[in-house]
Structure 1
Amino acid sequence: MNIKLQKSTLHQKSTIAVTGSKSESNRLLLLQALYANISIKNISNSDDATLMQKALKSSDAIKDIHHAGTAMRFLTAYYATQNGEEITLTGSSRMQERPIKILVKALRQLGANIQYTKNDGFPPLQIKGRKLRGSNVSLAANVSSQYISALLLIAPTLENGLTLTLDGKITSIPYINMTLSLLNDLGVQTNFEGNTIKVARFEATKEAKAFTVESDWSSASYFYSLIALSEIGTTTELSSYKQNSLQGDSCLAEIYQEFGVETTFSNHTITLIKKQQPSTSSIKLDLKNAPDIAQTIAVTAFGLQLSCEMIGLHTLKIKETDRLVALKTELEKLGASVDITEESLYLHEATQIHENITIATYKDHRMAMAFAPLALRVPLEIEKADVVSKSYPDFWKDLEKIGVEMK
């Protein structure tokens, strides 16, 4: 399904309820599978969270999680601990190109029985669950935080807990802290000092434990972009958000001040208002702790005709697509000039934006959503727009609610 976006103007005021965080939902779903006393409210309605729930509830020997990268990593760790259970974990053709060797190697150090059924280092995986007796693992510190979180989530069930040593400079610290915070809320003792994380063994009590998932900050990024590209005075209210969020992408509130957007917090909602035009012609950011918002920021900067340099983006190479290459390709179709390396992107200041360009989405939900706000500047078409269901199924409906015209 392609969607044609007309050149639009947002409603002066609007309100949107954003679905629960995909990252938080998947962590809690795994903990719920390990500890039955947990209940969860406001679970994400994303494909990723739905596929995670389906896999955990299914008794099938083959678990297919399609494009859900978080589910692939978390479930690899989970099923490795399920004594006597034997499953094959697989996914889409792209998922079978996404590396998982680092996690499998770490789980094998703990005693896991995991085999590759096609290509070494990549899904599908044959997993024979067993009691893991190891308690010490080392990983490179700059790997995807999902590998680290997968290990931390199963750590309380290990006989002697887990000591995880991270070698080098750590990236995506907020996502590690999110995992540890949820473990702490459950009652698990953890310690994160320097490059060592310790998680103690934890036996569940019968006491019920209720969690409410905060709404997704990555999803909020597209509204930040829309407000940044709007007229001064335009506002939108988003629920349900916390001022002291566990999500790394909550740095949006600070970053978008440079684009003229002010954020106010009140009663678990955030209100975004376009206060002024950008105060600078050049944006420079290190996004090692929040790489998922890089696409949104690049498109915002392009729409405002600013230059933008972003570093810390090395994990974008192994996402749903190579996001750095995809960004460069699609932005240049619109008239941008973009330079990329293995871990950075530099967008040169634009002088024009081409109209009626069709944006390819590469089976990547964030490509579709990141480019949509450009409809406030020019008409454009989003190819295979239903890919947004991976993280935000109601995205196009919500855009229509706030004034974006489409067909």
Structure 2
Amino acid sequence: MNIKEVKPLKYFEKISLKLPASKSLTQRALICSALAQGVSQIINPLISEDTLLLKDALKAIGVNIKEKENIWEVEGRFPPLLSGKKIYLGNNGTGARFFIALASLGKGSYVEIYGKPRLHERPMDPLIESLRKLSSHIECLEKEGFLPIRIKEGKLVSQKISLPGNISSQFISALLLIGPCLPNGLEIFIEGQLLSKAYVDLTTNIMKTYGVEVEFFENKFKVSPSFYKPTSYEVEADASTASYFLAIPLVLGRGEIIIENYNPFSKQGDVKFLEYIKKMGAKIEILNPLGVKVSFEGIPQGIEIDLSDTPDLFPTLCILGAVAEGKTVLKGAPHLRYKETDRIKAMVTELRKLGVKVEELPDGAIIEGTKEFKSAIINTYDDHRIAMSFAILGLKKEGIKIENPECVVKSFPEFWKYIEKLYG
């Protein structure tokens, strides 16, 4: 296994970057385009392991996708073709959940869906059971409620679905995406507080762009039967990815960074990162028509953050907590334990290797900032966000080595090239 040592960034002052497109938006646009009646254009899609896996999965069920310069032309196919193929989705949890719902609309024989061992450990039961209530024919091939699965042709019906709000928002999004294709639409009732609602809002916003309206009342989503319209959709920069680079001035205690293509008014929940680092002492300047500038001098201040809507920011904020003055309390995201790895346990374990005092919580962590870091080899657990967050800390502290640095291909294949740019 490869190991990459990150060199401290000793003379950083400022840099301006243009970052890749959003993974979340690219995957949602692929599903909407696949269901649209006609040809859609996805402009500036993210090219990464996850998005390419989903693209190939859609092609396997009859969706025609042509690649042009910076554009994917997607010719929708409804119903999808169940061609008897085995479809591999790596560790793409979002793509797998969206694709399971989409394939349940299919006609033909069957498809089998599988992935890496970790994907087979990630829970799918709430989605599988909901789709079975809609008359989907899903067979779990090894363990009930988990991949691998086989989906056979069925005739989906409209039913009222209830889901607890504290599960992955991806289950809700997956069902909403196929909702307009059901005979009488779909109603989803949410029990309790809905975590990661920002990601569901992202889904409904893209559906609206493709001509489908989703109503939301207190604890209920309602989608009427309708059709996705072919659309030209331009994918904006990824707010989650941007967080690593926007954190750099605070980690180093100095400097200025501009993200040229950042949309601070995006529907992506992770734009809240700007609010979080402002509370820690960063100076934020919104640029026109797009872009943001973050500047900082000094030591960031520890804060308390509820991450129920922004769980993907947890690794970055753990790193900021490690360099901050005082304690940083991160809570509200128990579903982090079911990501590419158990991100709470992973971040706590690796921070402790570096000499950081961390208390593990069921839904987050309490981190006590320090100035004295130990050298260590960081286990990434094949999780792109673990690798990228500790790489940013390595810009401050010598002796941080990243195991399996290639795992960043999941969302940001050129991450290490961008890191090199920081050195001038």
What TM-score does the superposition give when structure 1 sets the normalisation length? 0.94
State the secondary structure of the residue aligned to 2:107.
coil
Q: Where does residue 77 of structure 2 map in the other structure?
A: none
Aligned-pair CA distance for 1:42: 1.2
Deviates more, 1:261-270 or 1:129-138: 261-270
- What is residue 191 of structure 1 aligned with on the other side? 215
Secondary structure of 1:257's match?
helix
CA contact (8 A) 1:140 1:166 kept: yes
> Residue 260 of structure 1 aligns to which amino acid in structure 2?
G
The Cα shift of 1:204 comes to: 4.3
Contact 1:263–1:270, Cα closer than 8 Å, also in 2: no
Alignment of 1:157-168 (within 5 A): 157-168=181-192
Which of these residues, 102, 115, 139, is aligned with residue 115 of structure 1?
Answer: 139
The 8 Å contact of residues 215 and 239 in structure 1, kept in 2 or not, is answered as: no
> Which residue of the other structure, out of 369, 377, 381, is the alignment partner of 2:388?
369
Q: What code does the residue aligned with 2:57 have? A: A
Amino acid of the structure 2 residue aligned with 1:370: S
Q: Structure 2 matches for 1:43-122, cutoff 5 A?
A: 43-58=45-60, 61-122=85-146
Give the whole-Å Cα distance in 1 for the aligned partners of 2:389 and 2:289.
25
Q: 1:244 maps to which residue?
A: 265
Shift of 1:103: 0.4
1:313-352 aligned within 5 A: 313-352=333-372
Task: Return the letter of the residue paired with 1:58.
Answer: A
* Cα offset, 1:193, TM superposition: 1.2
CA distance in 2, matches of 1:182, 1:81: 20
| Whole-angstrom CA distance in 2 between matches of 1:94 and 1:81 | 26
Q: Tell me if 1:15 matches 2:16.
A: yes
The residue aligned with 2:4 is 3
After TM superposition, list the pairs within 5 Å mapping 1:165-314 onto structure 2: 165-204=189-228, 208-232=230-254, 234-278=255-299, 280=301, 282-314=302-334
1:195 and 1:17 mapped to 2: Cα distance? 38
Identity %: 32
Q: Which amino acid aligns with 1:6?
A: K
Task: Report which stretch shifted further, 83-92 or 48-57.
Answer: 83-92
1:400 is the counterpart of 2:402: no
- How far is the alpha carbon of 1:135 from its aligned partner? 3.2
Alpha-carbon shift at residue 111 of structure 1 (Å):
1.0
Q: Is the contact between residue 240 and residue 268 of structure 1 (CA under 8 Å) also seen in structure 2?
A: no
Three-state SS of the structure 2 residue aligned to 1:256 is helix
Deviates more, 1:38-47 or 1:388-397: 38-47
2:87/2:112 contact within 8 Å kept: yes
Q: Which amino acid aligns with 1:146?
A: Q
1:154 aligns with 2:156: no
Q: Secondary structure at the match of 2:17?
A: strand
304-313 or 217-226, which deviates more: 304-313
Query: Structure 2 counterpart of 1:112, which letter?
Result: S
CA distance in 2, matches of 1:279, 1:293: 17
State the distance in 2 between where 1:310 and 1:47 align: 29
Separation (CA, whole Å) in 1 of partners of 2:393 and 2:420: 14
In structure 1, the residue matched to 2:149 is 125
CA distance, structure 1, for counterparts of residue 140 and residue 30 of structure 2 = 25
Determine if contact 2:32/2:228 at 8 Å carries over to the other structure. Answer: no
Query: What is the number of equivalent residue pairs in this alignment?
Result: 399
| Distance in 2 separating the partners of 1:402 and 1:98 | 36
Answer whether contact 1:261 1:275 (CA < 8 A) is retained: yes
**1:274-309 deviations in Å (ceiling 9; x for gaps):** 2343563x3100000000111110111202354111
Secondary structure of the structure 1 residue equivalent to 2:263: coil
Could you report, residue by residue, the CA deviation over 1:109-144 in whole angstroms, capped at 9, with x for unpaired residues?
111110100011110010113331123211011110
Query: How big is the alpha-carbon RMSD for the aligned residues of Structure 1 and Structure 2?
Result: 1.7
**1:328-352 deviation per Cα after TM superposition (whole angstroms, max 9, x unaligned):** 1100000011111221211123352
Contact kept in structure 2, 1:261 and 1:272, CA below 8 Å: no
* 3-state secondary structure, aligned to 2:335: helix
Contact 2:300 2:324 in 1 (8 A): no
How far did residue 166 of structure 1 move?
A: 0.5
Q: CA deviation at 1:107?
A: 0.7
CA contact (8 A) 1:89 1:123 kept: yes
Task: Give, in whole Å, the separation in 2 of the partners of 1:223 and 1:198.
Answer: 38
Matches of 1:267 and 1:160 in 2, distance apart? 44
Query: 2:262·2:290 contact (CA, 8 Å) conserved in 1?
Result: yes
Structure 1 254/68 Cα, relative in aligned 2: closer, same or farther at 3 Å? same
In the TM superposition, residue 7 of structure 1 has moved relative to its aligned partner by 1.8
Letter in 2 for 1:131: K
Structure 2 residues not aligned, in runs of 5+: 62-83
Q: 1:268 to 1:52 in 2, by over 3 A?
A: farther
Instruction: Call closer, same or farther: CA 1:231–1:351 in 2, change over 3 Å.
Output: closer
Q: In the TM superposition, what is the alpha-carbon distance from 1:268 to its structure 2 partner?
A: 4.9
CA shift digits 1:163-210 (9 cap, x unpaired): 1100111111111111111111222122111000001111245xx421
Deviation at 1:270, TM superposition (A): 2.4
